[in-house]
Amino acid sequence: MNAIIKKALAAVITVSFCSFGMIKAQDDESGATFNVQGDLVSSYIWRGMYQTGASFQPTFSFGIAGFSLTAWGSTDFDGYQASEGLANKEIDLTAAYTFGNSGLTLSVADLWWGGQGANKYFNFKSHETAHHFEAGLAYTLPVEKFPLSVAWYTMFAGQDKDAEGGQNYSSYVELNYPFSVKRVDLNVTCGLVPYKAPQYYTNGFAVTNVALKGTTAIKVTDSFSLPIFAQAIWNPRLEDAHLVFGFTLKP
């Protein structure tokens, strides 16, 4: 398993770096796209769970013919151990394929949030690694007036282990429904854990993420607008709530 994981990650990284040379061909004849952007958020909440305070979250991705490679990261400003200057640092690599107009997307992701100073990023030993490897399947209803999407994610390898060292196969299911009101794009989210998953602090079925997000833009000049967003998030399982504000910088 370790050799397979190493080869898969090496392939993803190699293809990702090779695709950087295509930045000038954002919309060429082949339909290839390249995207670079960054979000600044007041706090980082992941699937209804607080991760850290104000953070900067860059994204770059490459896509062609239904296939995409995405690198996403998050780094806070003071860290979870501020006295020692160790920042909360996360790097996620995702490969995904969308099957034509079917609305179906299959993805495989490497999630790593070891933090600044953790090092050993390339340690993929099953019982030592800080990586979480996750498979996902998402489907969006082919109904223009009701574009509900449903996604299921399961951690199949990596750090997600039980006390005996076996894989937990922690899973998370999320429903999203986007709509608009005047100049604001809104999205309602409901996320749940279907069975016991220590990764999400659940002993069985639990709703962990109920959220409403609104996105709009502030016009700065005739040629530039700044996208801003606010999100209210509730975690019924942990009896916690969050209100997040952020903005996006992109070409």
Average of per-residue pLDDT values in the chain: 86
79 pLDDT tier (thresholds 50, 70, 90):
low
Distance between CA atoms of 215 and 70, rounded to whole angstroms?
22
Q: pLDDT per residue over 114-139, tens digit each?
A: 887 778 899 898 888 889 999 999 99
- Give the whole-angstrom CA distance, residue 2 versus residue 126: 7
Reply yes or no on domain 2-249 having CATH 1.10.3720.10: no
Return the CA Rg of the chain: 19
pTM of the model: 0.84
Question: pLDDT tens across 12-70, in order?
Answer: 444 344 433 434 434 455 589 999 999 999 999 999 999 999 999 999 999 999 999 99
Whole-angstrom Cα distance, residue 193 to residue 207?
Answer: 6
What is the reported pLDDT for 10?
44
Indicate whether 142 pLDDT > 80: yes
Give domain limits for the chain. 2-249
Q: pLDDT per residue over 166-198, tens digit each?
A: 999 999 999 999 999 988 999 999 999 999 998
Specify the pLDDT at position 128.
Answer: 87
Average pLDDT rounded to a whole number, residues 148-154: 97
